[in-house]
């Protein structure tokens, strides 16, 4: 499974009624809220073994899956 | 003063072009707000008679909520703001309680209503703001508005599973707004930040005193608490001087690690709403805001504010902080279990009387008579609201709030009834027996259950009935529920499992 698939699988486990692959304004449109995001951070931690401090989170990094994957890469290196 | 409209109108005459409300995309002046409200009001007078209830189903963060609320008032009606993100089943319960004559909606509101089976009349806000202002009609309606007419109905969790609608009058809002401005000492130069959605009573602090003063209000973006770093940048960029949140929200910002010494130099009022905040996170905020005073207030949807006070001195980490002194307009009684008055400075259940306590629960006589008690001590004191909170007055006049008499909790800053969660659990397919308990120390809700079901089944069923913050955090499957010798559920045995 490639990284994007792993990310999508992790996200779908958190929330199954959002089309993560095609949405581009997940935060701005309120499709994921703060409770979802907390769970998404845990899911990223689990799927990619990265820890993102809560204070470092910016909304831009969670509006679409490309931005999330870029964030994962930043924390992997 | 007869109506809250008068405060807006006085400000719109005095400082018409000052910014009233703004966010990242839009701004609205006081004159602009008043005219938009009059347009909406003019349109509504054709759709609903005076004193009808109008539900607001609007994007929670939209600036349009404010002219919509005032538009309803211009039409002589009562507004009831609802959360469009509520699960349809619970939204429906709220609408059944309110029985609104009309729902004023935007796109999000339309979407939320699409899943409801109730037949409701709707009016799109876009159409309403296109209406011509009809001063004659507005004047005719205005002649009929009385200060004792309900102005708003705010919904809150109820033990039976049906939410309750707390109804406050124009007179309530007028007296509360005046007392609030006087007590905090706000001026027209403040810039308020609003974080609480308008369907929560917490938001009234950032709507009505600023409008009365002619002060500006910045609406923080959706879900900003998730991004504390961004939130601090925004508070600084917009030079916010007044900021109010629940203690649990302030605490979560501390935990995220974004607070630095003197990082919010502009802030002058930090206000912790509803309940007392632990000293450790509060002292962190104090270091970050060298020019701010920190204030507690105690209150609820039904009571608005009861006591307010500046935090003074310093405390130990585990000290319980007072929530301020009762407003001079507030009368408090402290009652024992037996219904007699507790000795001075000793804890009792608090009964509250004030010019702004709600009149009762909308269309719910039985729960109103349970909570609004006429003359509880039989000495001709009049009607009091029974708060369910246990507290006492210290000798220095500061109010201490110790906890609840019932199973109402504050979870992540939200007020909820554990019984409402249990009522929803009983509607879960496959549910046989169980209960929920709140671990106050870690603010987690535990769900204990037995039978042939599992966590995923319970959770997905609850999601359709309750807002997300009401869902349990931990699920524990038991072979059987523990009982005491008298066959009562052994909650102490369950508490031991909460680790």
> pLDDT per position in chain B (499 positions), as tens?
999 999 999 999 999 999 999 999 999 999 999 999 999 999 999 999 999 999 999 999 999 999 999 999 999 999 999 999 899 999 999 999 999 999 999 999 999 999 888 889 999 999 999 999 999 999 999 999 999 999 999 999 888 888 999 999 999 999 999 999 999 999 999 999 999 999 999 999 999 999 999 999 999 998 788 889 999 999 999 999 999 999 999 998 998 889 999 999 999 999 999 888 999 999 999 999 999 999 999 999 999 999 999 999 999 988 999 999 999 999 999 999 989 999 999 999 999 999 999 999 999 999 999 999 999 999 999 999 999 999 999 999 999 999 999 999 999 889 999 999 999 999 998 899 999 999 998 899 999 999 899 999 999 999 899 998 899 999 999 999 999 888 888 999 999 999 8
| B5-222: in CATH 3.40.50.720 | no
Residues of A in contact with B223 (CB under 8 A): 27, 30, 33-34, 37, 59
Interchain pair A54, B256: CB under 8 A: yes
- pLDDT attached to residue B226: 85
- pLDDT attached to residue B22: 98
Strand runs (DSSP E) across B382-427, as ranges?
Answer: 383-393, 399-404, 408-411, 414-417
**Tens-digit pLDDT profile for residues B303-331:** 999 999 999 999 998 899 999 999 999 99
Query: Dihedral of the CA atoms A20, A23, A27, A32 (nearest 10)?
Result: -40
Q: How many pairs of residues across A and B have Cβ atoms under 8 Å apart?
A: 45
Please tell me the total number of residues recorded for chain B in this structure: 499
Distance from CA of B229 to the nearest CA of A (A): 6
**Of B11, B13, B150, nearest in space to B76 by CA:** B150
- pLDDT attached to residue B487: 82
Query: Dihedral of the CA atoms A9, A11, A15, A18 (nearest 10)?
Result: -90
Residue A77 has pLDDT above 80, yes or no: no
Residue with tokens 């919509």: B68
Task: Give the number of C-alpha atoms closer than 13 A to the C-alpha of residue B144, restricted to the C-beta side.
Answer: 14
Residue A56 has pLDDT above 90, yes or no: no
Domain covering B408-496, topology: GMP Synthetase; Chain A, domain 3 (3.30.300)
With an 8 Å Cβ cutoff, is A1 touching chain B?
no
End-to-end, the C-alpha distance of chain B in Å comes to: 55
Q: State the average pLDDT over residues A55-68.
A: 88
Pair of tokens at residue B141: 């309606």
Please, are residues B418 and B406 in contact by the beta-carbon 8 Å criterion?
Answer: no
Distance from CA of B314 to the nearest CA of A (A): 27
Sheet-wide strand order for B434-439: B434-439, B444-449, B474-477
Partners of B403 in beta bridges: B390
Domain regions of chain B by residue span: 5-222, 408-496
Cα separation of B496 and B499, whole Å? 7
**Tens-digit pLDDT profile for residues B427-466:** 998 899 999 999 998 899 999 999 899 999 999 999 899 9
- pLDDT attached to residue B220: 96
Q: State the average pLDDT over residues A48-75.
A: 88
Please, are residues B74 and B83 in contact by the beta-carbon 8 Å criterion?
Answer: no
What ipTM score was computed for the predicted complex, to two decimals?
0.74
Please, are residues B218 and B23 in contact by the beta-carbon 8 Å criterion?
Answer: yes
Residue with tokens 């120390």: B441
DSSP B260: -
Name A3's Cβ contacts closer than 8 Å, sequence gap at least 6.
A48, A69, A72
Interchain pair B468, A28: CB under 8 A: no
With an 8 Å Cβ cutoff, is A34 touching chain B?
yes
Interchain pair A58, B222: CB under 8 A: no
Burial class of residue B73 in the structure, from the number of CB atoms within 10 Å of its CB (0-12 exposed, 13-18 middle, 19+ buried): buried
- pLDDT attached to residue B358: 98
Q: Would the CA dihedral through B454, B475, B491, B428 be positive or negative?
A: negative
| A3-13+20-76: in CATH 3.40.640.10 | no
pTM of the model: 0.91
Please tell me the total number of residues recorded for chain A in this structure: 77
Please, are residues B408 and B416 in contact by the beta-carbon 8 Å criterion?
Answer: yes
Name B157's Cβ contacts closer than 8 Å, sequence gap at least 6.
B163, B164, B408, B415, B416, B417, B420, B470
Interchain pair B227, A28: CB under 8 A: no
DSSP B464: T
Residue A30 has pLDDT above 80, yes or no: no
Domain regions of chain A by residue span: 3-13+20-76
Interchain pair B229, A57: CB under 8 A: yes
Q: Which of B60, B83, B227 to mutate to test the interface with A (most CBs of A within 10 A)?
A: B227
């Amino acid at each position: 499974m490639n990284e994007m698939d792993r990310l999508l699988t992790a996200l779908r486990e958190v929330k199954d009624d959002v089309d993560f692959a095609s949405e581009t304004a997940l935060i701005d449109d309120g499709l994921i809220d703060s409770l979802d995001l907390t769970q998404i951070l845990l899911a990223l931690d689990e799927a990619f073994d990265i820890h993102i401090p809560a204070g470092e989170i910016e909304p831009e990094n969670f509006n679409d899956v490309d931005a999330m994957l870029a964030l994962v890469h930043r924390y992997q290196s | 003063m007869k109506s809250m409209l008068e405060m807006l109108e006085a400000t719109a005459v005095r400082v018409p072009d000052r910014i009233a409300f703004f966010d990242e995309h839009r701004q609205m002046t006081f004159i602009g707000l008043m005219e938009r409200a009059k347009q909406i009001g003019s349109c509504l007078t054709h759709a609903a008679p005076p004193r009808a209830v109008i539900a607001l189903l609007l994007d929670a963060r939209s600036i349009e909520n404010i002219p919509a609320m005032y538009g309803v008032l211009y039409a002589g009606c009562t507004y009831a703001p609802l959360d469009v993100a509520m699960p349809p089943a619970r939204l429906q319960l709220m609408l059944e309680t309110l029985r609104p004559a009309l729902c004023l909606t935007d796109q999000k509101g339309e979407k939320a209503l699409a899943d409801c089976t109730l037949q409701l009349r709707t009016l799109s806000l876009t159409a309403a703001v296109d209406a011509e202002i009809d001063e004659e009609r507005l004047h005719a309606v205005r002649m009929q508005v009385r200060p004792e007419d309900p102005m708003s109905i705010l919904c809150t969790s109820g033990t039976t599973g049906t939410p309750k609608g707390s109804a406050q009058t124009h007179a309530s809002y007028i007296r509360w707004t005046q007392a609030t401005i006087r007590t905090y000492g706000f001026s027209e130069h403040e810039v308020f930040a609003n974080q609480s959605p308008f369907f929560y009573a917490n938001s009234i602090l950032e709507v009505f005193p600023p409008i009365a003063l002619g002060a500006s209000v910045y609406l923080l973006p959706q879900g900003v608490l998730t991004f504390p770093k961004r939130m601090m940048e925004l508070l600084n960029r917009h030079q916010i001087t007044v900021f109010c949140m629940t203690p649990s929200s302030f605490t979560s910002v501390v935990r995220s690690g974004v607070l630095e010494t003197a990082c919010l130099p502009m802030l002058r009022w930090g206000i912790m709403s509803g309940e007392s905040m632990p000293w450790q996170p509060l002292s962190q905020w104090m270091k970050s805001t060298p020019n701010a005073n920190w204030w507690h207030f105690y209150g609820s949807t039904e009571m608005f504010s009861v006591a307010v006070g500046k935090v003074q001195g310093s405390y130990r980490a585990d000290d319980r902080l007072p929530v301020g002194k009762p407003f001079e307009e507030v009368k408090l009684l402290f009652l024992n279990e037996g219904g007699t008055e507790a000795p001075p400075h000793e804890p009792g259940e608090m009964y509250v009387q004030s010019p702004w306590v709600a009149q009762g629960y909308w269309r719910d006589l039985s729960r109103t008579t349970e909570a609004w008690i006429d003359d509880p001590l039989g000495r001709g004191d009049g009607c009091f609201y029974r708060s369910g909170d246990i507290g006492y007055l210290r000798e220095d006049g500061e109010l201490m709030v110790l906890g609840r008499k019932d199973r109402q909790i504050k979870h992540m800053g939200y007020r909820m009834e554990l019984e409402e969660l249990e009522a929803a659990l009983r509607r879960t397919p496959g549910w046989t027996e169980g209960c929920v308990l709140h671990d106050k120390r870690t603010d987690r809700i535990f769900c204990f259950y037995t039978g042939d079901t599992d966590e995923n089944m319970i959770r997905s069923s609850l999601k359709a009935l309750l807002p997300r913050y009401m869902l349990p955090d931990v699920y524990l499957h038991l072979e059987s529920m523990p009982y005491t010798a008298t066959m009562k559920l052994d909650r102490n045995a369950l508490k031991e499992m909460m680790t």
